[in-house]
Amino acid sequence: MPLQRIRAGAIPGAEAARRAAQLNAEAMRLPQGRTLLNRSVDSASALIVVEGAIHIGVADDDALLSQGEGVLLPAGAAYSLRAEQEAVAFLFSTRGE
């Protein structure tokens, strides 16, 4: 499944879900040249780049994301991240019940 690109302000329902405490958030800092491989998400997630640029790859697609850009990751998706320069990203996911 190809990556679905998003912009930081365009996550449907994100503000309402955040207010209802339905989202988990995690920040990731990747030093220059660092790769994070074979990470998977348990629930639908949105990865958004806050600083720098990150290459993200999934089984059948990859993308270069810059500040403010992101992708939606379906539940169970395995992905890898690579930063050519220091970068920061947030991963937002729905809480599992």
- The Cα 50–Cα 45 span in angstroms is 16
Please give the tally of structural domains in the chain.
1
pLDDT in tens, 57-72: 888 888 999 999 999 8
We report the CATH number of the domain holding residue 39 as 2.60.120.10
What is the pTM (predicted TM-score) of this model?
0.72
Q: What are phi and psi of 75, to 5 degrees?
A: -55, 140
pLDDT in tens, 7-38: 665 555 555 555 545 677 888 888 888 777 66
What residue numbers bound the domain in which 50 lies? 4-94
Longest dimension (CA), the chain: 37
